[in-house]
Amino acid sequence: MKLAKTYDPKEIEDRLYKKWEDNGYFHAKVDKRKKPFTIVMPPPNITGKLHMGHALDNTMQDILIRFKRMQGYEALWQPGTDHAAIATEVKVTNALKEKGIDKRKIGREAFLDYCWKWREEYGRTIITQLKKLGSSADWERERFTMDEGCSKAVEEVFVKLYQKGYIYKGSRIINWCPKCQTSLSDAEVEHVDQDGFFWHINYPVKGEPGRFVEIATTRPETLIGDTAVAVNPDDERYKDIVGKTLLLPLTDREIPVIADAYVDKEFGTGCVKITPAHDPNDFEVGKRHNLEEINILNDDGTMNDKCGRYAGMDRYEARKAMVADLDKLGLLVKVVPHTHAVGTHDRCHTTVEPMVKPQWFVRMKEMGEAALEAGRKGDVKFVPDNYIKTYEHWLTGIKDWCISRQLWWGHRIPAYYCDDCGEMVVQKGGAPKVCPKCGGKHFTQDPDTLDTWFSSALWPFSTLGWPEKTPEYEYFYPTDVLVTGYDIIFFWVIRMVFSALEQTGKAPFHHVLIHGLVRDEQGRKMSKSLGNGIDPLDVIDKYGADALRLTLMTGNAPGNDMRFYWDRVENSRNFANKVWNASRFIQMNLDGFNLHDPENKDFRTEDKAIISLVNTLVKDVTDNMEKYELGVAVGKVFDFIWDEFCDWYIEMVKPRIYARDTDPKSANAALFTLKNVLSISLKLLHPYMPFITEEIYCSLNPCEDTIMTSGWPLYQKAAHDEKAEEIYSRVKELVKGMRAVRKDMNVPNSKKATLYIVSEKKAVRDIFEENTSLYQTLCSANAVKVQKDNKGIDEKSVSFVITDATCFVPLAELVDMDKERERLQKEQKRLEGELKRSNGMLSNQKFLSKAPAAKVEEEKAKLAKYQQMMADVKKRLSEL
């Protein structure tokens, strides 16, 4: 198959991806003869759409899986999607609203039917988009967090942990969304800076008329739930009131003053209202002092019946009313503007309320300690390794995990309550037949579902068939590497580690490869609110998937954020064009040529050098990829292909190719080397740019079905040729020096001149004498003379220095002396005029005082430029 004249990613990408899928190249099998390598794909939400974060994350995974597949591993990239409980429920609820359907009226079962239909219609959108990126996941094994197997694993784990005492139902402080009316995990809460106020309020001291304790709060509506005011035990200002009683404003209750080290003496007034039911820190203080927990809010964010005349008001409406009443009572001291971080639900953007509610929790002490130990022992390693500190930080003193959600879409909690006596039974396989306490036969299942993270925490092993001991689980587990962003270490990585250790006795992966965020050109996080997001599909449509993938990996370092620049994408596209055109040149010259294995003596220095260089490249790139230095690796491949191979080696061997009729052996050695070095280069590039490398490789090697199974190149010690590399390097230095002279003197390459190379070292002279044909054409030299001294060289010669030698080119052969002198004199006259004008402006005080500063600086820059140009012209005239 001939390569097309121009590289068109749109023409090849869909065709090649279909070829790969049709031939089952992505499918991994249990094969005990081969070593397994497993990556589990972080499951994108079924509500999701491909964004730059997905593109980077999945590109990195695909690079690793393609690399290992070529190395001969049985490489499994296990894909799947997450049911995304809250996100999906919000989507479906809104879609039903548009049709005039109320979720509550149609009931749970009918709503779930709509959710499953929604999943069937929209839930695979992101999978289709990942395929456009070139992701070579084993789609035949695609899983879903609510499929039968994953659901079975979830139920198994819940029951096991409950029976062990690690899962319990109790009242603790949680994040509550008044709009969605569900508890939330910390991962679903975004902290957004909002403009607000500190309301300073006086609490009267009981029995001491005129004496008050001043507190400052950002949420005055929670005052009704206060059960104490706390001060620091070391605060001399308040030692005499500790143990006294305060009259809680707007209520008929009295609350104590307590001493607790939680209070910062230096912050605010040093007195803190304690509302255990509505603040996580206050909740802990309340536990230490046995304070009552008074919940003042209904689930929809309105004030409940404990709030007197404010009952039924929205929380913010109540805030205004209460502040006004405090002002009337003379208890409002002042209102101070204050900007602070407010927790909001990441889906509906409603301000979240901390609330004490009965929920299901996972006790974290024992499992958290096991996960901490796994990190310290190195059972789980982070790349870069400094992220182990983040991991340990989150696990140190980890709090119990709220796992229940007041949603319908998700894994329903397998807890059943006897309708007759209320006895709770937790078990697998549905409701019990008979109540163990009263013998009743009617049960109601707990209405809550599990936090989405509960099922995704089991992802590395539930996707492989656990709790069954499937062949896939036995062979592919534990997985080798997890690729994920640094913002998800706590929410997902830690939960996978402690869940896997508890359920399988093994860490779920050996390495966690951390990447940063993809930011815009200004370094800002891409977001809808800023309108600076870039759709990866738009980039693919314009430049191709390979160009996007290369851009995302160029300069990429583990753990570091990167900026997305469109000019980098263009550069990646230009690189693809360079590879394509070079490959097409080679293919065109191979066409009709009887290529065969050359004899060793037919290989010239440049052949041996490029073979040695690509051999070293294989060693270095393999080493970088094994260490997950993916950005470093592709940088080396890019530089080798663009610079060493295309710009140097191909240009060096062109004369030999064009002389194929007069010296077929030399042409054969050159073409043989071109094809083999290109094939190796394509293999090294394939994980990063799979489409273009597949098209070119299969075109050059029609007997091979795909580059994916062609085998990763191996370092060959015998191919290393230090002498050839030294000669090659010296020749490049010589050519660069000659080209610099021509550029400096504005001499076209078509102008031939004699090149003298002078060196006292015989070994150096031998190199240039024996390899004249290698560099003469590249230097545009009509003759080359290598000698020991300057004898016979025109004094009016241009010279340049290279390692161990000085090179000379007679000036008269480069330029017409009279014409060049005339041209330079005209340029000198022009520059004299510019200098006079510029000096005049900058010595004019009127200009300096009235002109904008930027204009003055611009003129100074011009003057400096003209002065440098004049110095260069005078130097050249002197030389002439």
| DSSP character string of 212-249 | EEEEEES-GGGGGG--EEEE-TT-GGGTTTTT-EEE-T
3-state secondary structure 535-561: CHHHHHHHHCHHHHHHHHHCCCCCCCC
Q: What is the domain partition of the chain in residue ranges?
A: 192-340, 566-701, 725-815, 818-879
Cα–Cα distance between 463 and 149 in angstroms, integer? 8
What is the pLDDT, as a whole number, of residue 341?
87
Cα–Cα distance between 572 and 574 in angstroms, integer? 5
What is the pLDDT, as a whole number, of residue 820?
63
Mean pLDDT of 340-348: 85
| % of the chain exceeding 90 in pLDDT | 77
- Residue 401, pLDDT above cutoff 80: yes
What is the pLDDT, as a whole number, of residue 149?
96
What is the pLDDT, as a whole number, of residue 878?
79
Contact call for residues 115 and 409 (beta carbons, < 8 A)? yes
Note the pLDDT tens digit of each residue in 173-205: 999 999 888 998 777 788 888 888 999 999 999
Cα–Cα distance between 505 and 132 in angstroms, integer? 37
Is 2 annotated to bind a ligand? Reply is no
What is the pLDDT, as a whole number, of residue 192?
86
Where are any strands of DSSP class E within 529-624? 562-563
- Residue 823, pLDDT above cutoff 70: no
Mean pLDDT of 92-119: 94
By mean pLDDT, which of 354-368, 395-409, 513-527, 676-690 is the weakest?
513-527
Note the pLDDT tens digit of each residue in 567-606: 999 999 999 999 999 999 999 999 988 889 999 999 999 9
Q: Is domain 725-815 classified as CATH 3.30.2320? A: yes
Contact call for residues 548 and 569 (beta carbons, < 8 A)? yes
Note the pLDDT tens digit of each residue in 683-700: 999 999 999 999 999 999
What is the pLDDT, as a whole number, of residue 20?
98
pLDDT band at 417 (very low <50, low <70, confident <90, very high): very high
Beta strands at 562-563 and 509-515: parallel, antiparallel or unpaired: unpaired
What is the pLDDT, as a whole number, of residue 861?
87
pLDDT band at 132 (very low <50, low <70, confident <90, very high): very high
Beta strands at 74-78 and 36-40: parallel, antiparallel or unpaired: parallel
What is the pLDDT, as a whole number, of residue 862?
85
Contact call for residues 514 and 480 (beta carbons, < 8 A)? no
pLDDT band at 681 (very low <50, low <70, confident <90, very high): very high
Answer whether 566-701 and 818-879 agree in fold.
no
Note the pLDDT tens digit of each residue in 504-540: 999 999 999 999 888 888 888 887 777 888 899 999 9
CATH architecture for the domain at 818-879 = Orthogonal Bundle (1.10)
The neighbour count for residue 839, using CB atoms within 10 Å, is 14
Mean pLDDT of 18-42: 97
Output the six-digit token pair for 428.
């697998």
Note the pLDDT tens digit of each residue in 711-722: 999 999 999 999
- Average confidence score pLDDT of the chain: 93
What is the pLDDT, as a whole number, of residue 778?
92
What is the pLDDT, as a whole number, of residue 854?
82
Cα–Cα distance between 489 and 871 in angstroms, integer? 60
What is the pLDDT, as a whole number, of residue 816?
62
- Distance from first CA to last CA of the chain, Å, rounded? 57
78: Cβ–Cβ under 8 A, 6 or more apart, which residues? 38, 39, 40, 41, 137, 138, 141, 143, 463, 464, 476, 479
Going from the C-alpha of 693 to that of each of 28, 49, 657, 688, 690, the distances in angstroms are: 22, 27, 24, 9, 5
Can you name the CATH fold of 566-701?
Answer: Isoleucyl-tRNA Synthetase; Domain 1 (1.10.730)
Output the six-digit token pair for 76.
């499994």
Phi, psi values for residue 728, rounded to 5°: -60, -45
What is the pLDDT, as a whole number, of residue 524?
87
What's this model's pTM, rounded to 2 decimal places? 0.87
User: Which class does domain 192-340 fall in?
Assistant: alpha beta
In sequence order, the β-bridge partners of residue 194 are 340
pLDDT band at 879 (very low <50, low <70, confident <90, very high): low
By mean pLDDT, which of 15-19, 35-39, 464-468, 808-812 is the weakest?
808-812
Going from the C-alpha of 609 to that of each of 550, 603, 723, 727, 753, the distances in angstroms are: 27, 10, 8, 8, 28
- Residue 865, pLDDT above cutoff 70: yes
Mean pLDDT of 405-431: 96
